[in-house]
Structure 1
Amino acid sequence: MSNSLADIDTLRSFHFDRLLNEDPITHALTLLGSFPAPEGAQGRSPAIVRIEKTALLLERAGELLSQSLRDARLIESTDIYTWLFGWLESSVDAPDVKINVIHPATDVHIRKYSAQQVVIVRETPALYARIVRPYIDAFPAARTQWVENILSGTSEADKVLHRDSSPTHGHVLLPDMKWDLKTISSLYLVAIASARDVRSLRDLHGGHLGMLRSIRREAARVVRERWGLGKGALRMFVHYQPSYYHFHVHIVNVNYNGLPGMSVGQAHLLDDVIALLELGPEDGPSVFEQATLTYTLGEQHGLYAPMKAAQDELDD
C-alpha cells in the first residue's frame, strides 16, 4: 500500500472522518479518515494523514516577488505598513505541502496523534518496575518491525547516511520522516541503535557509552560533510517516554525551534546523557536505572491513567 499512496488518485480516495490535531507553529493539520483496504481485503481501513506547509526555499528568495508571485490581495494598510495575502506559482522544485501517511492506523496511532492535555508525572525506579516496564514488555514485536527492516537493510537502505555494524556500538543514521530533505534550517535526522535490548533511557548503562559517543561523533561528521554545518550546529536528544521502544537519538539543526518534542519534560540532551553515564560505573546500576525521572504524559498515552493515579503514592 505504501507504493500506491504515491499515486495522486489513491491520495484523493481518502475519506475524511475528523480532525485529530492542528499545529499553528508548523502550519500542519492531522486528519483521521480511511483509504481503500489493502489488496485482497474488503471495505476501507483507518488512516492518519498529516499535511504540513513546507518552508520557502532560500535559493529562490530573490525571485519570490519578481517571478514566483502569481497573485496578491490587500488585507490592510496603514501608514508605512501593508499586509497582503499572496499566491505563488506552482513549482516542481518547491512543493506547497508535505504529506505523511500512516496506513493502516491502529488505535494507538490515533491516540498518539490526537490533541490532548498533558500532566507532569514522577517515575521512581519502583514505579518503572511495577507500571512502565510491564507496559513496554507488552508491546508486540510487530510494533517495531519497521525499525528491524531499517536495521537489516530491507527498507530505506537508500536513505541511510551512515551505518555502523559494530557489535558493541552499531547504529544507522538517516533522515527523520518529519524533515522535508531540503530545508537545512529544519534538518532532522535520527540515529537508531542496533542493540535490541536498549528500549529506552532506563536501559542505558556505562557499557553503552561507546555507542552514544559514536552516534554523537558520526552524526556531526555526516552533517558537516554533507551540509556544511560545523561544531555546535546540532541539538541531539533522547525522548523519555519515547514514541517507540527501540533506542534512538533525535538530531536537529540547533536553530530549529518550536518542536514539541524538544520540550523540558521529554527531551534529554545526548551530551548530558553521556556525562551522567560517565559518572557511574561501567558495570552495575547506572544513574538512569536509579533516578526518579520527571516527564509529561498526554491523556491519550497508555501510561497516563496508571502513572497519574500512582502520583498519590509519592512524597511531596
Structure 2
Amino acid sequence: MANLLKDLESLRKFKLHRILNEDPSTHALTLLGSFDAEDKEGSEPTLSILRIEKTPLSAGDADRLVPSLANVRFIENNDIYTWLFGWLEASSEKPDVKINIISPATDIHIRKYSAQRLIVVNETPELYERIVKPYIAAFPPSRTRWVTDILTGKTEAEKVLFKDDCPDYGYLILPDMKWDLTTVSSLYLVAIAFSSNIRSLRDLRKRHLGMLRSIKREAARVVKERWGVGRGGLRLFVHYQPSYYHFHVHIVNANYAGSMGMTVGQAHLLDDIISLLEVDGEGDGRTILEGMTLTYGLGDQHGLFTAMEGAQDELRE
C-alpha cells in the first residue's frame, strides 16, 4: 500500500478515524485513518498512520523569507510589539510540511504513535532477563524487515553516506527519515549495524569498541565534509528502550532540541557507552551494560508497560 501513496491524489483519499497524538514542540499531528477507496461492506479498512509535521525555517532562507510572504494578517499591537499571521508563497523547492506514512499500520504501530502517559521504571539485570529479554526475543524478523532492506541495498541505497561491509562489526550511515534533508540545524542521521545479534545496548561488549569508535569518527567526517558542521557540533546517542531492536546510533546536530527521544533516561550518549566498555573487564562474567540498573521512561502503550509497572513493586530502595 505505502508504495502507491506518492502523489496528492492518493493522499486525498485518506479518511480520518481519529487523532493519535498532537505534538506542539515539533508542530506535528499524527492521524489514524485509511486509504481504502471504498470500505467493502462487512470488512475492516486497512489502517494507516499519517504524521504531518511542519518543516523548520532554514537560516539559508533568511534573505528570501520576507519577500516570499504571500499574505499577512494583523493580530495585535502593543507599544513597540506587533503580532501578525503570515502565509508563504507555494514553493517547489521549500515544502511547508513533511509527511510520514505507515501503511498498513499494525496495532503495535498505533500504540507506539499514540499519546501516552509516561512512568519512570527501574530495569534491574534480573528484570531484564525475566521480562525484557524474552519480550525482545519474541519479535519476528518481519518487524525489522525494513532495516534489512536498507542494509542489503534493496531500499534507500542512494542515501547511504558511509558503509563498512564487515558483517560482524560493520555499519552504514544514512539520513534518518525524520530529517527534511535540507535544514542543517535539525540534521538527523542514523548509523545501523549490520549484525542482527546486537538488539540493544545491553548486548554491547568490549569487542564492539572498534565499531562504536568508527561510527563516532566517520559520522564527524561525513557531516563536516557535506554540511560543514565542525568538532563538537554533533550529539550521538543510543536509545533504551529503542524504537526497534536492531542496534543503531542516532547522529543529530548538537543544537537540535526538537525530539523527546533525546531526553534523559532514554538517550545514552555514545561517548558514555564507549567509556563504560573501556573500563569493563575482560572476563566471561556479566558485563557493565548487562549488570547496570537502567532507569527510563515507559509509555502506557508500550508492550513492556504492564509487566514493568507491576515489577516495580518488587524493588526496594
The TM-score normalised by the length of structure 2 is: 0.96
- Which deviates further from its counterpart, 278-287 or 268-277? 278-287
Distance 1:226 1:282, change over 3 A: farther
Matched, 1:52 2:86: no
Aligned to 1:93: 93
Superposition deviation, residue 315 in structure 1:
1.0
After the TM superposition, list the runs of 4 or more consecutive aligned residues in structure 1 that deviate by more than 6 angstroms.
none
Aligned to 1:290: 291
**Secondary structure at 2:215 match in 1:** helix
RMSD: 1.2
**Secondary structure at 1:139 match in 2:** coil
Aligned partners of 1:188, 1:298: CA distance in 2, in Å? 24
Aligned to 2:215: 215
Whether contact under 8 Å (1:235, 1:269) holds in the other structure is yes
Aligned to 2:118: 118
| 1:225-259 deviations in Å (ceiling 9; x for gaps) | 11111111000000000000000000000000131
Matched, 1:312 2:313: yes
Aligned to 1:174: 174
% same residue: 64
Structure 2 unaligned segments of length 5 or more: list them.
38-42
Whether contact under 8 Å (1:34, 1:45) holds in the other structure is yes
Aligned partners of 2:44, 2:79: CA distance in 1, in Å? 59
Superposition deviation, residue 204 in structure 1:
0.7
**Secondary structure at 1:49 match in 2:** strand
| 1:165-189 deviations in Å (ceiling 9; x for gaps) | 1244200100000000000000000
Alignment of 1:38-49 (within 5 A): 44-49=45-50
Matched residue type, 1:236: L
Aligned partners of 1:270, 1:118: CA distance in 2, in Å? 24
Aligned to 2:105: 105
Aligned to 1:77: 77
**Secondary structure at 1:52 match in 2:** strand
| 1:181-236 deviations in Å (ceiling 9; x for gaps) | 00000000000001110000111110111111111111111101111111110000
Structure 1 unaligned segments of length 5 or more: list them.
none
Superposition deviation, residue 286 in structure 1:
1.6
Whether contact under 8 Å (2:163, 2:172) holds in the other structure is yes
Matched residue type, 2:199: R
Aligned partners of 1:88, 1:164: CA distance in 2, in Å? 43
Aligned to 1:206: 206
Superposition deviation, residue 43 in structure 1:
6.7
Aligned partners of 1:258, 1:54: CA distance in 2, in Å? 12
**Secondary structure at 1:6 match in 2:** coil
**Secondary structure at 1:36 match in 2:** coil
Aligned to 1:188: 188
**Secondary structure at 1:177 match in 2:** coil
Superposition deviation, residue 69 in structure 1:
1.0
Aligned partners of 2:297, 2:96: CA distance in 1, in Å? 33
Superposition deviation, residue 282 in structure 1:
4.2
Aligned to 1:249: 249
